[in-house]
């Protein structure tokens, strides 16, 4: 068609005008550290597996999860989820029920029989098929830390033997956590899943001389994860009639069904273990378990939901009380007040409490006899000292979990095991990996919360339910898939692009390119790139990014 000069123009011609030259700031996509990931002691990439779960890709989500933690079904029941405490969604409405989703994924995996990744497949480890490293590692203690270390070592191609004095694996998970919180078959199934990786479990194997074991077994390295087994005691005068147990003994015996407690049970202590004991006692027939705690609720170490769960089950607490003596079926308590620094101060006032059994839940200490006499291993204040790679002062001997200082949770131990595996691998492979640089934290202030939808009113109660059931009660059984899915979808994806297309849509200059699976020189590309030929630097993309993954950077002119 003959077109009139100048008056009529052809499409596409404006692309000759590169408006990028107007720009004084450029948008740049960055990945920030989500607070959930930041808070996870096990180092889980929580946001990543939530992202996968959001689309119903449960297996992919589970696979992303077990990159860091081989026990999702267990963690989904026993973890105190610091991720949820850190979750930015708290400031919008309520934290995402990460723990509930984790449990759901763990249960689905067990149900479907998904297998852990093969040896040699560690995402951040060397590519070695099977046990090609030829290196042997002894793990002492089949608790969460030891099993985590074993898992991650096996995935790095090392041959792992786990020795444990008990008849069953699991350590504190098996012997210290009541079955109503963690059904034994769930734990057993998750532990069994380690065997195909080549992890050899030597149960009933008591390690007494570590140096000899190491030498005889030709182990190149050792991970020490024996946990804290020694109950702390306090000196309570007790007559003949008073039956005094420690918490671990009770919990262990409860698992076997080999204990009679009587009707009236008192528990002395204020940690989660005290709650476990009281609730276990109730399940064993105690009608009115009482917790005796010397301070007040706001300083009690037990997690709120544990205490709330106990109270909901009819357990009472004697606050600001110590036990003076136990005699004739009676506990004599002394009233306390809180002094400076929340220290309890005796008042001299006494009162009585009827009790058949007193259970001391005052914490546990690590049995460090194994490391006594080992060259180089340093102990301080009852804990083994380790460096950043979890190695003790003795070459090739690593430690984690309750034997080292710090938080004593299952999740921490799993994180220690993973870190130690990386450290051991570095030693055995002669390769020292620099830790990945930690990205800047994705703060709440980075978010544009307008874009996050609210749950429809109809399903909110159910969501609340799954959030709340996360640790204590198996009454609800398996989670409802739809609700777990929606819970996952409440994730804000703080600081990391989740492909919402906002930047692509809101650019007035079409200067954001949606890759949409484009294949240039490799795998399909996701997310977006800025076309700096046309980006004028208005900043709308950054302002309207829901998750704050775009930063405006000044152009250097």
Partner 1 sequence: MRRDLLPTDAVAAGGTPEAADTGAGTSGAIGDDPGAGRQRLRFYQVGSFAVGNRLADPSQRTVQSDATRSNSLDSGHRACQGCGEALGARYALDAAMRAAGGQLVAVNATGCLEVFSTPYPETSWRIAWLHSLFANAPAVATGVAAAMRVKGRSDVRVVAQAGDGGTVDIGFGCLSGMFERNDDVLFICYDNEAYMNTGVQRSGATPSAARTATTEAIGPDPGAPFGQGKDLPRLAMAHGIPYVATATVADLHDLEDKIERATLMRGARYVHVLVPCPLGWGTASADTIAVARLATQTGLFPVYEAKNGSVTSVSKIRRVQPVEAYLGMQKRFAHLFGTPGRPDIVARIQAIADDSIARFGLLDSHAGEPAERGAR
Partner 2 sequence: MLEQIEGSRAVAKTVARCRPEVVCAYPISPQTHIIEAIGALVRSGELARCEFINVESEFAAMSVAIGASAAGARAYTATASQGLLFMIEAVYNAAGLGLPVVMTLANRAVGAPINIWNDHSDAMAVRDAGWVQLFAETNQEAADLHVQAFRLAEELSVPVMVCMDGFVLTHAFEQVDVPEQDLVDAFLPPYEPRQVLDPADPVSIGAMVGPEAFEEVRYLAHVRQLAVLEQIPVVAAEFERTFGRRSGGLVSSYRAEDAEVVVVALGSVLGTIKDTVDERREQGERIGVVGITSFRPFPREAVRQVLSAARQVVVIEKAFSIGFGGVLATDVAMALQGLPPEVVSVVAGLGGRPITTVSLRRVLQAAVNDRLPPLTFLDLDEDLVRHELERMAATRRSGPTAENLLRDLGVPSGHIG
Q: Which is nearer to partner 1, 7 or 556 (CB)?
A: 7
- From CA 433, how far away is CA 424, in angstroms rounded? 11
Q: Give the Cα-Cα-Cα angle 45, 48, 50 (nearest 5 degrees).
A: 110
Partner whose footprint covers residue 454, from partner 1, partner 2, none (CB < 5 to 8 Å by kind): partner 1
Q: Between residue 9 and residue 48, which ones bind partner 2 under the rule CB under 8 A?
A: 9-11
User: Which letter does DSSP use for residue 294 in this model?
Assistant: S
Q: How far apart are the first and last CA of the chain?
A: 45
Among 456, 477, 522, 523, binds partner 1 (CB under 8 A): 456
Least separation in angstroms between residue 8's CB and partner 2 is: 5
Decide if residue 9 touches partner 1 (CB under 8 A): yes
Decide if residue 381 touches partner 2 (CB under 8 A): no
- From CA 85, how far away is CA 104, in angstroms rounded? 19
Among 373, 376, 505, 554, binds partner 1 (CB under 8 A): 505
Partner whose footprint covers residue 502, from partner 2, partner 1, none (CB < 5 to 8 Å by kind): partner 1
Q: Where are the beta strands (DSSP E) in 307-404?
A: 316-318, 321-327, 330-338, 344-354, 357-360, 364-366, 379-380, 383-384, 397-399
Decide if residue 7 touches partner 2 (CB under 8 A): yes
Among 21, 55, 378, 478, binds partner 1 (CB under 8 A): 55
Could you tell me which of 494, 495, 503, 485 has the C-alpha nearest to residue 541? 503
Q: Who's near 437: CB < 8 A, 6+ residues apart?
A: none
Least separation in angstroms between residue 275's CB and partner 1 is: 31
Among 127, 203, 312, 459, binds partner 1 (CB under 8 A): 459
Among 54, 68, 306, 412, binds partner 1 (CB under 8 A): 54
Q: Which stretch binds partner 1 (CB under 8 A): 130-138, 288-296, 366-374, 508-516?
A: 508-516
Q: Give the torsion through C-alpha atoms of 290, 294, 297, 298, to 10 deg.
A: -160
Partner whose footprint covers residue 4, from partner 2, partner 1, none (CB < 5 to 8 Å by kind): partner 2
Least separation in angstroms between residue 543's CB and partner 1 is: 4
Q: Which is nearer to partner 1, 256 or 454 (CB)?
A: 454
Among 59, 168, 544, 551, binds partner 1 (CB under 8 A): 544
User: Which letter does DSSP use for residue 492 in this model?
Assistant: -
Decide if residue 268 touches partner 1 (CB under 8 A): no
Q: Who's near 343: CB < 8 A, 6+ residues apart?
A: none
Strands 243-246 and 528-530: unpaired
Q: Which is nearer to partner 2, 1 or 218 (CB)?
A: 1
Could you tell me which of 253, 258, 289 has the C-alpha nearest to residue 274? 289
Contact 485, 455 (CB under 8 A): no
Could you list the residues that contact partner 1 (CB under 8 A)?
6, 9-19, 22, 54-56, 92-93, 450-459, 481-482, 485-486, 489-493, 498-502, 504-511, 514-516, 531, 533-534, 536-540, 542-544, 546, 552
């Amino acid at each position: 068609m003959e077109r009139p000069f100048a008056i009529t123009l052809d499409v596409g011609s404006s692309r000759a005008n590169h408006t990028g030259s107007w720009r004084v700031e450029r948008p740049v996509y960055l990945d920030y550290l989500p607070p959930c990931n930041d808070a996870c002691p096990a180092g889980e990439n929580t946001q990543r597996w939530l992202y996968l779960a959001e689309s119903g890709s449960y297996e992919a989500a589970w696979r992303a999860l077990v990159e860091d933690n081989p026990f999702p079904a267990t963690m989904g029941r026993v973890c105190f989820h610091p991720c949820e405490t850190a979750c930015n969604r708290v400031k919008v409405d309520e934290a995402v029920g990460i723990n509930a989703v984790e449990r759901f994924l763990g249960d689905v995996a067990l149900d479907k029989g998904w297998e852990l990744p093969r040896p040699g497949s560690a995402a951040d480890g060397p590519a070695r098929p099977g046990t090609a490293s030829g290196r042997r590692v002894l793990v002492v203690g089949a608790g969460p830390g030891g099993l985590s270390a074993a898992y991650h070592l096996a995935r790095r191609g090392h041959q792992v033997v786990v020795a444990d004095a008990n008849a069953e694996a699991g350590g504190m998970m098996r012997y210290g956590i009541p079955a109503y919180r963690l059904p034994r078959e769930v734990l057993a199934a998750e532990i069994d899943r380690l065997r195909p990786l080549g992890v050899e479990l030597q149960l009933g194997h008591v390690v007494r001389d570590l140096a000899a074991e190491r030498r005889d077994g030709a182990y190149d390295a050792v991970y020490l994860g024996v946990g804290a087994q020694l109950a702390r005691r306090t000196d309570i005068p007790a007559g003949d009639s008073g039956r005094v147990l420690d918490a671990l003994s009770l919990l262990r015996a409860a698992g076997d069904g080999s204990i009679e407690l009587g009707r009236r049970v008192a528990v002395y202590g204020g940690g989660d273990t005290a709650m476990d004991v009281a609730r276990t006692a109730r399940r064993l027939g105690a009608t009115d378990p009482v917790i005796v705690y010397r301070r007040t609720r706001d300083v009690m170490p037990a997690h709120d939901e544990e205490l709330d769960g106990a109270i909901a089950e009819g357990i009472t607490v004697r606050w600001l009380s110590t036990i003076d003596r136990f005699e004739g079926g009676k506990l004599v308590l002394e009233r306390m007040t809180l002094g400076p620094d929340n220290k309890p101060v005796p008042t001299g006032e006494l009162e009585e409490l009827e009790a058949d059994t007193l259970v001391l839940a005052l914490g546990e200490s690590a049995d460090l006899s194994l490391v006594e006499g080992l060259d180089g291993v340093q102990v301080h204040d009852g804990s083994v000292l380790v460096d950043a790679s979890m190695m003790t002062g003795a070459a090739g001997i690593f430690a984690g979990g309750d034997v080292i200082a710090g938080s004593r949770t299952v999740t921490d131990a799993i994180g220690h095991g993973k870190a130690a595996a990386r450290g051991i691998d570095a030693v055995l492979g002669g390769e020292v990996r620099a830790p990945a640089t930690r990205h800047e934290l994705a703060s709440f202030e980075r978010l544009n919360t307008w874009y996050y939808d609210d749950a429809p009113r109809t399903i909110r109660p159910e969501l609340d339910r799954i959030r709340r059931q996360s640790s204590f009660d198996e009454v609800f059984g398996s989670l409802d898939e739809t609700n777990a899915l929606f819970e996952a979808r409440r994730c804000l994806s703080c600081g990391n692009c989740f492909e919402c297309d906002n930047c692509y849509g809101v650019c007035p200059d079409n200067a954001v390119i949606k890759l949409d699976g484009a294949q240039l020189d490799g795998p399909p590309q996701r997310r977006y790139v800025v076309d700096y030929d046309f980006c004028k630097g208005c900043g709308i993309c950054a302002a309207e990014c829901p998750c704050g993954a775009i930063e405006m950077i000044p152009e250097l002119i």
